[in-house]
Every structure is written in structure tokens, then in C-alpha cells.
Amino acid sequence: MRYTVVYWNRAAGDVYEVIRSEMPAGWSLVILEGDTKEAWWDQLRRADFLVVADWPITEEDLQAAPKLKMVQHQGVGHERIDKEALKARGIPLALCPAGTTVGVAEHTILLILAVYKRLVVADRKLREGVWLQWGLRGTSFELAGKTLGLLGFGRIAQAVARRAYAFDARILYHDPYLQEPPPEAAAWDITAVSFAQLLGDSDILSLHVPTTDQTRRCMSTPQFEQMKRSAILINTARGAIVDEPALIKALESGTIAGAGLDVFEQEPIKADSPLLKMDTVVLTPHIAAGTLDALRQKMRSVFGNLQRFAAGKAIEDRVV
């Protein structure tokens, strides 16, 4: 049977080509045209399936899609999707964990090293004609021998731990929902600790939890004040986990030493954010999982799940 898939996001042309290359034969892809919700709603009327990356989906959006059978997220962050409206229509929502683990784990290590080695400062100054061969030695560090604390120890945090172990880091984690780490983690010299100990002992604190009522702004002034003054914060998870004004204050006051951030409370980040002017902070625009390798893997998984639904089979990673 022929199905119409609406991609409920805007993307570059090469992204659409990857999506098309993974679609089942005979299915059609609708790329949103126009610049208004009304124009997009008109195109939603054709949708059998909706694939979304990071846009919200509201009750109004769903009302514009009378044929809609299923919503498939290409990632895992579903806090901006009206799940009650989906339930009311009996429309399932599924997530796609595939394709994020490696990219986010690598990006976490990238941010740690970039903050520790003052990469952005070194690059910028070199381009300005300033040769800092000796100028950064007092403020640059190695990952080897440092204590990496992981808040959350799911699949991405475990992939980070595996990589950090290869850098000779000591690894701590706090995850109240994990009964015990996977057997292979025993080889990584990891230790489960309380949240308070994680904050106090970590040279690097890396966040790997979803946004929930319990985790929203769980990193705020009291938590920063429990960290070492030499510690750095890494966030490749969700911006809402961190109280951004409190983080800015902690960085400005020297309560913590630096940060590497791929996600923010408001995205895109505000143009007047003090974070943009801090030499001790490395920022990227929510690209940790944004690789071509990940996109291909995601789309194979996305369309595999949609095909399961179309065949009347149980879908994977269902939320609603």
C-alpha cells in the first residue's frame, strides 16, 4: 500500500535525500513548503505518517491531519509533543534511540577535551595572529587521571564511560533507576555513588538524563556550589536539566571552572547570552547526534518501525 509521510521539520536538501533513500518503495515524502502554520497544515492533511525531529506537535497540528495513523520521532526527546492529544485520537507515538549513542558519546568526549585543552581560544587567537604556545599551559588539562562523573548511566553514558576509560579517567556514576551496570562495565573501573558524592568528587560532570519533573533544572546553584571550583560541566542531554542563569552565575563567580554545552534552555541560544562571551565555555548548536552516519541509521530504524505498524505488527519504542 502507498503511504504519505510528512517530515514535520525543516532540513537541508541532503537530509531529505537521505530520508528518501531509506523510504520503502512506493511511499511518498512531503517536504513542508511555505512559511506559515496554515501552509504547513494544508500539507498535513495528506499525512498517513508524521516523522519529527525536534519541532513541537500541538493539538492544532494534529487536528490538521485527519488521516494521521502514527507519529514517529527520529530521536528520543518527546517533551514538546502533545501526548494527551495523541491519546485522544488513538494515534501512537514511537521514539528512535537508534543512531544517537555513538555520536553523542563522541561529542561528549570532544567537548571535554575542547574545554580542557582550550581549543576554541587557541584556534581563535592563532587566527588573530597571537601565538599561545606558552600562554595556555597554566589553564589546560588532560583527561587522563581525572574523575569523570556521569549523571545517568543509560546507553549513551555507558558509551561515554567506555571511551573515557580508554583515556585513563576514573569513572563515577549516579543513576537511581539502574539496578546494576551491564557486566562489561566491570572492566571500566566504574563506581556507583550518591548524587552528592558525584557532585563533590567529579572533575568533569557529564549529564545523561532525560527531561522529567525530577530532572528539570536539577543542576542549579545548590548543585554548582557542591562541585569543585576546578570542575567543568558537560551537557549533551537536554537544556532543561540545567538552570542556565545559575550556570552563568557559577561560571562568572568561579564556582566552577568551565562548561561544554550542546543543548540549551532556549534553542537557538539568545544572541545576548553571556555564555557566548566566555572563554571557559565551548558551545555547539545541538549537533551531538547530527552526523550523516547517525541520520542513515535513524531513517532505517524510523521506516522499519512505520512498516511494522503498516503490517499490523507491534511497533518498537512506543511512548503513547
> pLDDT digits over 236-264, tens only?
999 999 999 999 999 999 999 999 999 99
d(CA 221, CA 242): 10
Instruction: Give CA separation, 221 vs 9, 37, 250, in Å.
Output: 35, 39, 7
Residue 182 has pLDDT above 90, yes or no: no
What amino acid occupies position 166?
Answer: A
How close are the terminal C-alpha atoms of the chain, in Å? 24
Residue 1, pLDDT score: 85
Residue 115 has pLDDT above 90, yes or no: yes
Q: List the chain domain ranges.
A: 4-99+291-310, 101-283
265 is catalytic: no
Instruction: Give mean pLDDT, residues 308-313.
Output: 98
Cis check for the bond before 268: say yes or no (omega within 30 of 0): yes
**Whole-prediction pTM value?**
0.93
Residue 35, pLDDT score: 93
d(CA 261, CA 250): 15
Among 59, 79, 184, 267, the active-site one is 267
Residue 184, pLDDT score: 85
3-class SS at 318?
strand
- Closest Cα partner for 172 from 154, 196, 156, 189? 189
Q: Are strands 258-261 and 281-283 parallel, antiparallel or unpaired?
A: parallel
59 is catalytic: no
174 is catalytic: no
Residue 319 has pLDDT above 90, yes or no: yes
Residue 302, pLDDT score: 98
Residue 173 has pLDDT above 90, yes or no: yes
Residue 179 has pLDDT above 90, yes or no: no
Backbone angles phi, psi at 126, to 5 degrees: -60, -45
d(CA 56, CA 80): 5
Place domain 4-99+291-310 in its CATH homologous superfamily. Answer: NAD(P)-binding Rossmann-like Domain (3.40.50.720)
Residue 181 has pLDDT above 90, yes or no: no
CATH code 3.40.50.720 for 101-283: yes
d(CA 230, CA 244): 19
Same topology between domain 4-99+291-310 and domain 101-283:
yes
In the chain, % of residues over pLDDT 70: 100
Letter string b/e over residues 211-246, b meaning 16 or more CB atoms within 10 A of that residue's CB? beeebeebbbeebbebbbeebbbbbbbbbbbbbbeb
Among 286, 296, 300, 308, the active-site one is 286
Residue 269, pLDDT score: 98
Among 107, 208, 238, 265, the active-site one is 238
What amino acid occupies position 218?
Answer: C
Average pLDDT score over the chain: 97
Instruction: Give mean pLDDT, residues 36-65.
Output: 96
Cell of 294: 547517525
Beta carbons of 156 and 208 less than 8 angstroms apart: yes
Residue 77 has pLDDT above 90, yes or no: no
